[in-house]
A and B are shown apart, each in its own frame.
Chain A
């Protein structure tokens, strides 16, 4: 998967080709990503794993067009992100990317329903009501739509965030430690919804996490260490991921 990024057999939702990201200059320069080449196939749930400081968040930010790469190319579908200006990137994020963050990142002034349709409203697009209903039912929020974030539990807020990420039918959803702030029951619920959206709705999801249990929900896991891809794992389980991480950190 890592090497076959130009391959014809697989359709990639996002690809990084020889991507490097350097923060700072001179002696203070930190190489967060070092010539990383990786691809994320459509319709799959991939986890990016690694110890803190391994560059996993940076990779996700670069893939999502939130951060510019120092060298190399990032493709979303067939679009080369390095060729886009801020306006085009904003539009791309709006139309093709969904985000789920660790802290729920909902607008406190909007209701759950309004938060879900926020990217659509920003784009001035009419929501596809059938799709929206399906998403809302998938995450089980039907009865909470008119509530504001402060009236929802942490798990419910994150489910709103999941629904928002799915609402635009994005090419790809990036989830950054989506269960980091949740207790294990709520976390399992959210991960279950992510899994379900891949299986039932055909969504592509890339999730950054350091939680082996979370990675267990994914189709594949990519391991990062010191800015390099160090390993990959198909059909990961929590135990196998944990073992792999132990060797990485050792």
Chain B
């Protein structure tokens, strides 16, 4: 039997290659994700080892907050007064404080430096000894007028020693560049831009009076790290702790690894989609192969092969294909990871070069997954093969008796679909993302099971225009309809990818529409002032103060977002507004209480939060803040419209400022005074904006466009990742068509004999392909619409309340799918057109 299988494999190299390719891509995606995230992780390990390489211990606050954004400080501050005490501890050779915050360097063109990497301001204490920064050119900055800069930024922006550099931070100023620093041996740290000052200046500029983030300590000779830590701990007050530099490095690296693991999960989800599509294709291919080898299998049975042997021979083919394809996939994945890293470097996010990290897991997991998927997918066809009666060899039966009646299929498919919907809805209602994913998977399975029932009528409908265009179109339509199971499972592979693509498209459109509706409803301001480059960074409070002076503006109100506090030990986020002006620019639809009672020491909560916690207006609640500690605050109002405040807790700017690690605003809303024209208002604010290049002003329409643009960017990224699944599905179509053509060789020969031209033949196959792809697209749209509806209806609490179908785009998907069908048909059609008529007629 083994020889039969191997011969079978070798006899159909092309079919083998196409089937394998669908596995290779999915497995490659998995392996590539592992390689990429492992390599990045190891890079950051090295980086943090370098950062802490000069130190032996670190002193930090014990107060932790879970940061959702790794660039935000996530621990409480260390008072700088403790430094003197630390220095006196026996065994301490050197100690220095370090603090950092947002600081935007203004380029020579007067614009804020662009690029995705964050902007940092930091203290330059102990450069070259304790600090990870080393002076490369010049010297350490001293006093309130001097600064240093990282070498990468200096090179990119052509700054040289002696230049005057403007930096926007909590306090904005112009400094003389006296030093250029490198980061260990690296000039550049993933494109991050650093401005460095001496400690007092940094505290001033970054609005951190009397504070450090951490204190780094170097041990005297002969004092071990644990010993140093122990000694330090004895002098530290409650709320501070000393840890070894190794532990500090591990802590920092751990932080990054958490965001990397998010990236890894995110990418693996797409890899999973690709593998899921691949499974369909394998199933489809093996089903067709078994159908075509009917006589051969029957002959084997007639010659004495047992059912089990037949099953095994088909299954073994799946395993062999899966194994080799997975190996190739792993290799492909490594290549992809190398490519991705090269792209990172090319866009300026240069990371310290580390060798590719390929762990055993990187090879084992994808191979096991690949083999498992091919084996499982070929299981059904293999079982079907074993049901071929030996007499079929003699009788030459046309097909295997179909397994399941349509009625039973309707029932079982319906049940699976219902299960999928239940899991999906349960997941969206709070069961978690894993349940949502599982539900989507089952849902797809159910749709795939039911789709043969609708494949023929749908293909008839879709093919109606083709049939009008002549005989090739009519025959193509009939071919698409003749085997509904085959057509629908081929189309189903495409449906998966396109379903997700149309889902994210519908979701993005709904987000945009909902956001625009929110703005229309709740934002009464004419202008929105935010950080440059689409609100990337925060900006000085001076902007709002200066704008408030303008008579052309009747109301100016600043806001800050995403502060952190703990409620019953759980980290939450809050937003802050100016309680006295914010009612002039926003309407959050207060349902209980009065905004006029809103003063420092009080807060507003969203009705969803109030309901969840059973809170009432007038109730005191205790919030734990990083700097001011436990605060008992009074709820003065409950609002309904989340609008710009997605966190559910709104406090005053004063309370926020007392706890923030900087003094920067996130957003300023401004309203034009009565009778002032748009042009006049813009002219009035222009000087202020010119002074602060880190901000930009937009009217509502521009703001909506910009947010829509950001959503579109994310959409494009996700769609590109999903394109892999679509591409694999197209491979499946090529495969199915090629196999179908092989099966219909005689028929094609006949058509050619009675006068069908090559061009007509190609057109016939093209139409079949187009009908299949459009069928897949239509099913995908239906699934995507359902997913979109389900997602949007579960997102009401975060302000997404409008389901919107971007009809133009969705139609475009169908058209593009049809065009892809044309492309997928190129190779099979060419092959069919090349058939030798005589041989085709004689073909068994």
Contacts and interface: CB of A to CB of B under 8 A. Distances in A.
B755 A105 contact: no
A44 to B, nearest CB: 23
Contact of B752 (A90, A97, A107, A123): A90
Interface in B466-509: 470-471, 474-475, 478-479, 481-482
A93 interface: yes
Contacts of A86: 758
B841 interface: yes
Contacts of A101: 750, 841
B456 to A, nearest CB: 11
A56 B841 CA distance: 16
B755 A91 contact: yes
B475 A109 contact: yes
Contacts of B746: 103, 105
Given A61-B838, A107-B747, A124-B470, A93 B753 contact: yes
Interface stretch (A33-41, A76-84, A114-122, A215-223): A114-122
Q: Which of B474, B482, B753 has the most CB of A within 10 A?
A: B753
A198 B74 CA distance: 98
Given A101-B841, A105-B746, A90 B751 contact: no
Contact of B754 (A67, A103, A122, A124): A122
Interface in A89-107: 90-91, 93-95, 97, 99, 101, 103, 105-107
Nearest to A121: B471
B173 interface: no
A61 B836 CA distance: 12
Given A86-B758, A90-B755, A93-B755, A110 B478 contact: yes
Interface residues of A, number: 28
B757 A90 contact: yes
Contacts of A105: 746-747, 750, 841
Interface string A139-157: 0000000000000000000
Interface of A: 61, 64, 66-67, 86-87, 90-91, 93-95, 97, 99, 101, 103, 105-110, 118-119, 121-124, 164
Contacts of B482: 108-109
Contacts of A67: 838
Contacts of B475: 107, 109-110
Contacts of A106: 750
Contact of B751 (A66, A95, A107, A108): A107
Contact of A107 (B750, B760, B837): B750
Given A66-B838, A122-B760, A109 B479 contact: yes
Nearest to B478: A109
Contacts of A87: 757-758
B368 interface: no
Main secondary structure of the interface of B (DSSP, over half): helix
Nearest to B753: A99
Contacts of B755: 90-91, 93-95, 97, 119, 122-123
Given A66-B753, A99-B754, A101-B750, 13 more contacts: A66-B838, A66-B841, A87-B758, A90-B755, A105-B747, A106-B750, A107-B747, A107-B750, A108-B482, A110-B475, A118-B471, A122-B757, A122-B760
Nearest to A109: B478
B542 to A, nearest CB: 77
Interface string B760-787: 1000000000000000000000000000
17 contacts: A61-B838, A66-B753, A66-B837, A66-B838, A87-B758, A90-B756, A105-B750, A107-B747, A107-B750, A110-B478, A118-B471, A119-B754, A119-B755, A122-B754, A122-B756, A122-B757, A122-B760
Contacts of B760: 122
Contacts of A97: 755
Contacts of B478: 109-110
Given A109-B475, A122-B471, A91 B757 contact: yes
A109 B757 CA distance: 19
Contacts of A93: 753-755
A90 B760 CA distance: 11
A109 B471 CA distance: 12
Contacts of A110: 475, 478
